[in-house]
Structure 1
């Protein structure tokens, strides 16, 4: 009888040995936790489609921030949820110096100076039509004006940097948005503030629960003219290359699970820090199955996050951040 000369199982015989040769590891430093800040007072409202995720008001958000800080999670991605009555066609609240995101940034930096604040830079939460830019009627067709939208996005980014944001994260997918925002930040004296570009953002069905959380669903049409077609991979490389050439400091792929091939492709071609967004429906599907007792939530979440990092992500934006750190710490 012939026995194998190569025995891969030798390195798997014990937990200690498996740990010794493990190639990929997760830690609290890998995670950015999204946080939704709403206009009003006394708000601590669980999002029905995202169990465990809440809308907070400025006076209650310390509950979430203190827990994140205690767990060692050192970065948050801030989304604003303005009053419906404050929305308009130009998303004015997005670049208001006293807007909800700007106020949240100031309070977070005052109370948690070591917490990195990443500001989502888009208009969709602040426009009454729910699109990520300025909309014009062209022959009965609603069209998002790319270049006019860039002007408002620059104003938004500068106002967020002025409020104290550590990182600007534009998510709008307008052509040239990184170059425009970089120039605007530099001109305003914020040349030190990096840009975390949503470089490869697909027009995805995985965003549904987020749109409930941020109240940002488009009132008409869809976002397929500016977000990417899920069928395309080579186009993702063109998008990422443009952002890198325009001065992006981070690249991002969004969503995560269905696009790990894109994460790997970017990792192999670019040296910039790479972020993946583990988006709302990816979170909600796990939560729903776990609540039914169909899956081991801890095992599924950690395996998913590990897979994203193994694919090439340096950082993971995830609603699982708090749970993941607890589990990694054996709790």
Structure 2
């Protein structure tokens, strides 16, 4: 964000907004390690970034740059215990998230463009995945191939690669394992990575040779829930209202007991940001918020389906940054 005059101006604007939020929260300084918050404030190296009301410094030793007499210092919530002790700061340490998270919800146009580029790159990998030979390979082997495709596509950091087959598709957090992929299997495939600092995820559902019995009917419900969630994305709508729109479709189909609690979350510099599309998140959507919309159904011991697409909230509703969900693609190999 600092390599060109416009980037420098945007960074100055961001830091000014952060300092105003710090003043409102009575936080005298922020000390961040490399993280999405670090990058949000223009961090580029591998040390710490210290932001005060007067300065912004990247350093290996942040303590000297924290103002003398500081009462409250915001720190990265993922900072390790030994790092916190090493700071040797005599002040109350509080999570920097309280200051930064609200400011990161709404992306600037250049950030939306960056997420769109990342989303396109993620979806391109899944397009290539359709041409791979799946029959006879294991989940783990196919995940390794997708990881390689991500890296070949310029991905700076692979954050997640999920491949689950058959009954494993009913497990939301299933790690790719040694199960062999066979004809008649449903497949859940998703990739999440970082390109040029920004994250995006795309997830698709395939079937090998032919879909399992009743799978297509269940998958059609997920697609309908996905469309309902996108239709509910608009300024002033709450995050939980978007989740409720997706869930209403699933409950109306009879699959309500098997619906995922969350219908998505925000993405940007991090792959799991706010707002979160689930009950209890009353964040009002605004233009510039970027969401990974991902309703899902998981029927234990049988199968599941999850579709993940990236969309930006605009003044006119949701604008897809990926191509959106598709009819079930049947792999012929």
- TM-score, scaled to structure 2: 0.24
Q: What TM-score, normalized by structure 1, do the two folds share?
A: 0.24
**Structure exhibiting the larger radius of gyration computed from Cα positions:** 2
More helix by percentage: 1
Higher strand proportion, which one? 2
